[in-house]
Amino acid sequence: MTERTELVEHGQLFIGGEFTDPLGTGVIEVISPHTEQVIGRVPHASEGDVDRAVAAARRAFDEGPWPRMGLDERIAVITRIKDAFAVRHEEFARLISAQNGTPYSSSVMVQALAAMMVWDSAITVARDFPYEERRDGVLGPLLVRREPVGVVAAVVPWNVPQFTAAAKLAPALLAGCTAVLKVSPETPLDAYVLAEIAQEAGLPPGVLSILPADREVSEYLVGHRDVDKVSFTGSVAAGRRVMEVASRNLTRVTLELGGKSAAIVLPDADLEAAVAGIVPFAWMINGQACVAQTRILVPNSRYDEMAEAFAAAAGALRVGDPLDPTTELGPLVARRQQQRSLDYIKLGQEEGAKILTGGNRPAAQERGWYVEPTLFGSVDNSMRIAREEIFGPVICLIPYEDEAEAVRIADDSPYGLSGSVWTADTERGIDVARRVRTGTYSVNTFSLDMLGPFGGYKNSGLGREFGPEGYGEFFEHKMIHLPAGYREA
């Protein structure tokens, strides 16, 4: 797959289940991070388009068939969406790689098939969810119901656009909610494929709208009085703003925000296995992943050995065209992200950290928003490069003296999204996992299971996605008091 992506143009928006002309004249130009050329054009949704989408969702929820269908009927529709991902996963992967620079070699799984797995896992959760339960109350029998929350505003980022869209839409739609999906202006093209799939799957009118737009329009959507629930993935700063705007209407929010996750390599770890397991997830999506293991904690007793091994592996990553199947690290999504990484590299040097590999723009790339895979050594956890989310291919190697200090360093962060521990003793690893305050943790691996709860401690967010916990975010609880002595017929 080395052929160039042809110009992709769309002139309409997907509102209420139909492709329709936008109210405004704004246009989003999608720029290739590899060539710096325009590869797509789509309409920029306006506040008026948001009003149309929310009104359609409101009608569909209040009056339409979707929330009143049986669960099996909704599952049948969502299954068709999931199945379409299996058919069109290469198309999704190619479009997303072209837009955000994810190497196609990993995009097929990370950007496309993983999204399909989210849709599939949500179906599994929905089948077994306790929608109603009977309880013996203090004053008599109770019926506790979980009912769909209503109209959902789902706002997703550019780094994993279909994965995050699935994390919000799959549970929301299965719950019986209706939704307006706001997609990033950096990656709107794959959203049109999703719109086609949703239309072909048979979603009733009004149930889903998909709008490409910038932050101003996002704020308008989040603050809309007819939105009942906001599910947002993005930066901490943007998450704070979402919470502020949503609070004006007391709108419920779920926030999946940033991370500065630590991989702890214990002294007894198999170094070869640790390097092979950590490096792909430190530099995943070119370092543009909230769950990336961006701090690697290694024991002083093996520091030189481990520093050499991690630097060699990072330096060997093949940098280049994201559509080249041999590429392992592509460009960053935008010039601003490239400059941000380069600024942090300069800062790290000023703070006294040592560059073990990388640190520049790749000499072989005359254009494109590339930064070499960069590993800093001799990093103190108080340095800004160790505390702030860079969102680029810049990783910190931090030494520790003993296990207790490793846990303290891992926890000494404003974030708490993910992490991992690497050891020859699995029970010891589980003990470390219990002690680190973070939402997702792995022992001798790194994974994100869609049947378990995903979310963060501290500044990494509020609420959970995936599993019954994530599904439950799209429900209200209703308590019905039954007459004393009532028994179901």
- The pLDDT value recorded for residue 2 is 47
Which listed residue (29, 47, 73, 256) is catalytic?
256
- The pLDDT value recorded for residue 4 is 54
Kindly state the helix (H) or strand (E) to which residue 230 belongs, with its residue range: strand 229-233
CA angle 315, 321, 322 (to 5 degrees): 90
> In the chain, which segments carry CATH 3.40.309.10?
262-443
Burial (CB count within 10 angstroms: exposed 0-12, middle 13-18, buried 19+), residue 334:
middle
Residue 441 to residue 192: CA distance in whole angstroms: 34
Whether the CB-CB separation of 118 and 163 falls below 8 Å is answered with: yes
Averaged pLDDT, 240-247:
98
Other Cβ atoms less than 10 A from the Cβ of 410: the count is 28
pLDDT tens across 44-83, in order?
Answer: 999 999 999 999 999 999 999 999 999 999 999 999 999 9
Residue 487 binned pLDDT confidence (cut-offs 50, 70, 90) = confident
Residue 103 has pLDDT above 90, yes or no: yes
Residue 1 has pLDDT above 50, yes or no: no
Q: Which fold has domain 8-257+460-478?
A: Aldehyde Dehydrogenase; Chain A, domain 1 (3.40.605)
- DSSP string of 376-394, one letter each residue: EES--TTSHHHHS---SSE
- The pLDDT value recorded for residue 396 is 99
Residue 224, φ and ψ in degrees, nearest 5:
-70, 135
Residue 489 has pLDDT above 80, yes or no: no
Averaged pLDDT, 423-428:
98
> In the chain, which segments carry CATH 3.40.605.10?
8-257+460-478
User: Catalytic: 256?
Assistant: yes
Residue 252 has pLDDT above 90, yes or no: yes
Residue 321 has pLDDT above 50, yes or no: yes
Residue 240 has pLDDT above 80, yes or no: yes
- The pLDDT value recorded for residue 434 is 98
pTM for the full predicted model: 0.96
- The pLDDT value recorded for residue 110 is 95
Residue 131 has pLDDT above 80, yes or no: yes
Q: Which fold has domain 262-443?
A: Aldehyde Dehydrogenase; Chain A, domain 2 (3.40.309)
Residue 3 has pLDDT above 50, yes or no: no
Mean pLDDT of the chain: 97
pLDDT tens across 181-234, in order?
Answer: 999 999 999 999 999 999 999 999 999 999 999 999 999 999 999 999 999 999
Residue 486 has pLDDT above 90, yes or no: no
